A and B are shown apart, each in its own frame.
Chain A
Amino acid sequence: EVQLVESGGGFVQPGRSLRLSCVGSGFTFENFAMHWVRQAPGQGLEWVSGLSWDSGGVGYANSVKGRFSISRDNAKRSLHLQMNNLTIEDTALYYCVQASKLGMASSGATFDNWGQGTLVTVSS
């Protein structure tokens, strides 16, 4: 069974930083692209960032570009999201997602497995 377990969320003041982590099990981690998707309270899904299997392909939503950085450690089966200069608008539940293909933007790729999310609250 595929499991994705996120951690690192919490309460933080605007302008501060936070680092999210996700550990995957039940699948061959290095064979799949990984993504972060967030959902603000009562709102829809927003793709945040994605990373190819070998970290060679990366993408960011315009809303986080320049502030967030995605990385992975295949040996540790882990995905990370470094979030800097946080704003109130970054308040959301952050999901770690396993894609169906190697590439970050492979044609036909789907978001197959989702973690339960880790909540980030940005407030003064």
Chain B
Amino acid sequence: QSILTQPPSVSGATGQRVTISCTRSSSNFGSTYDIHWYQQLPGAAPKLLIYSGSNRPSGVPARFSASTSGPSASLAITGLQADDEALYYCQSYDTTLRAWVFGGGTRLNVL
């Protein structure tokens, strides 16, 4: 069972806004480790989408944003587009396991 918990799927219509949550077991994660987000398009390798809570790498549209509040993080996508359909993963480092951990992944369906 993943200790970074994400909903299995979310859906939204083209142009709408959706959010994806990621909740971590606070006892497992050091406060110095941020949550990062990755996007995996169909048939492709994952790509870094958001890092250290709310920062976007070069080339990632501003439609993608994220925030952190306590043990939870949230990825928001506005102005949904068909090619946003993908799997989205959160990631952090578990200081108890001494291991990098990914959430179970959330499949975004664009209606």
Contact = CB atoms under 8 A, between A and B. Distances in A.
B47 A44 contact: no
B36 A61 contact: no
A110 B46 contact: no
Contacts, number: 63
Interface of A: 35, 37, 44-47, 50, 59-62, 95, 105, 107-112, 114-117
A110 B99 contact: no
30 contacts: A37-B102, A44-B2, A44-B89, A44-B102, A44-B103, A45-B38, A45-B89, A46-B102, A47-B99, A59-B98, A59-B100, A60-B99, A95-B46, A105-B93, A105-B98, A105-B100, A107-B30, A107-B32, A107-B34, A107-B93, A108-B34, A108-B52, A109-B93, A110-B36, A110-B52, A111-B100, A114-B46, A114-B47, A115-B45, A116-B45
Given A110-B36, A111-B38, A45 B97 contact: no
Across the A-B interface, give the 9 residue pairs with the lowest CB-CB distance, nearest first: A47-B100, A114-B45, A44-B105, A45-B102, A107-B32, A110-B51, A44-B104, A110-B36, A110-B48
Contacts of B48: 110-112
B32 to A, nearest CB: 5
Given A105-B98, A111-B46, A111-B48, 12 more contacts: A37-B102, A44-B105, A45-B46, A45-B102, A46-B102, A47-B100, A59-B100, A60-B99, A107-B93, A111-B38, A111-B91, A111-B100
Interface of B: 2, 30, 32-34, 36, 38, 40, 45-48, 51-52, 57, 87, 89, 91, 93, 97-105
Contacts of A44: 2, 87, 89, 102-105
A120 to B, nearest CB: 16
A35 B104 CA distance: 19
Contacts of B33: 107-108
Contact of A47 (B30, B34, B101): B101
A62 B100 contact: no
Nearest to B37: A110
